[in-house]
Structure formats: structure tokens, C-alpha cells
Copies of this chain bind each other. A is one copy, B any other.
Amino acid sequence: MTIKILITGGTFDKEYRELTGELFFRNTHVPNMLELGRAKIDVKIRTLMLIDSLEMTDNHRKIILEKCRNAKENKIIITHGTDTMAETAKFLGQNIENKTIILTGAMIPYTFGSSDGLFNLGSALAFAQSLPRGVYVAMNGKYFYWHNVRKNKETGVFEESLKN
């Protein structure tokens, strides 16, 4: 079994540019994170884009959908900025059904030391192996169905969006 990991950017992969004090993207840190986690599972990592999720357009989402559809693997992890992660999950959930797709990200860049990214990547890999087909968000140690998730903008925490 191989898990495909599609990289789209987000806080996860941001770095600090010391000459200007800005955050920017260079490369994904997912391979380093898997090494640190001593992960021995087969993965194929492909960087689709490296963008802030506030900049993610419908065109970007169509590219992601197409890559999910065309992947030989039926277990896919997508790293994604948290701001619009729920929107991308919704778009994918409405358009693809035969694969287990897990979106995850981070609130703090991996390179900043105190990141939640390593924890989230570990949980995303586990959910990809054990959840049935469907599209999910894996954040805050939980998983959420694509049709029932939002980021609480005030707390930064993911929660169910449907009233109970």
C-alpha cells in the first residue's frame, strides 16, 4: 500500500526570510517530517503548489481534484493552509467518492520548532490508512467529514459546522 501526499502549501511549509522578516515558501518539509517521525510507510510526495490557502482559487481546487482522480493510489493526504481547508474539503467531497482523502495542515510553521505539524501529519497518515473512503479534515487530533467541518476563526480550532 502506498499513500500519496499532495503538497499545496499553507502554514505547514512556511519559512522565515531573515533579510525581510517575511514568511515565504521554499520547499515542502514533509520529507524531513516523515524522516523525523521514522515513518516507514510507502509514500509518494508531489508538490502541486506552494501557496497560502487564502490565495486558493477554484482553478487551484480543480487541479487538486484532477490529481486526486488521476492518482493510482486510493489513499491520499493533502497538506493545505487552514483558512480555506474546509472549502477545499467540500469541493473534493462533492466530486470524488472512491478514495480516502485526508486534508491536514498546521497552525505554526514546521520550521518554527513548536509546530503542531508533526502531530497532524502523524494523525493524517493514520487516518488515511484506517478510515473508509471519503473526504476528511484531520486537525486538532480529530477527523471531520467534509460536509461537516469549519475552522472557528476566533479560536483557530476546527469544529463541526452542522447544528446538533
Contacts and interface: CB of A to CB of B under 8 A. Distances in A.
13 contacts: A14-B21, A16-B109, A19-B156, A36-B114, A38-B139, A38-B157, A40-B141, A41-B140, A111-B113, A111-B114, A120-B122, A126-B126, A126-B143
Nearest to A3: B141
A14 to B, nearest CB: 8
Interface in A132-163: 138-143, 153-154, 156-158
Interface of A: 11, 14, 16, 18-19, 21, 23, 33-34, 36-41, 52, 107-109, 111-116, 118-127, 129-131, 138-143, 153-154, 156-158
This chain: copies in complex: 4
